[in-house]
Amino acid sequence: MSDLPYVVIIGAGFWGLSAAKTLAQAPVRVTLIDKQNHHLFQPLLYQVATAALTPADIAVPVRWILRKQKNAPVVMDRVVDVDAVAQVVVTESGQRIGYDTLIIATGARHSYFWQ
């Protein structure tokens, strides 16, 4: 087992990917966890809706984005619990992933139609 600090990033949106890429040359081990296997570039969704682009043009596999980064494996799973005291992330499949530093970058959810 490595003595390098272990960083777990939850979420492969803009902030999660940015954090992972920033740590590419850092002396740390990184694991990126997201329930989707792709990063969706939402600002171009309207162009898919109007048939100017295909969905494949705005959805890129997360593993492809981080393919050259040796210190950042990707786990495709849903996080169901974070035990801050034990410093463990628990996933839907039952994995328990310990960490030294946790970055929660799960994004936002729109609520345009909430009353």
- Answer for the pair 43, 36: CB distance below 8 angstroms, yes or no: no
CB burial of 48-79 (b: ≥16 within 10 Å; e: otherwise) equals beeeeeeeeebeeebeebbeebebbebbbbeb
**Residue 62 pLDDT:** 80
- What residue ranges define each of the domains in the chain, with the CATH number in brackets? 6-104 (3.50.50.60)
Q: Which residues contact 45 (CB under 8 A, 6 or more apart)?
A: 58
Model confidence pTM above 0.85: no
pLDDT in tens, the chain (115 residues): 578 999 999 998 889 989 999 999 999 999 999 988 877 667 777 787 888 878 777 767 788 878 888 888 899 999 999 999 999 999 999 999 999 999 999 877 666 766 5
Distance CA 106, CA 114 (A): 21
Predicted pLDDT of residue 114: 63
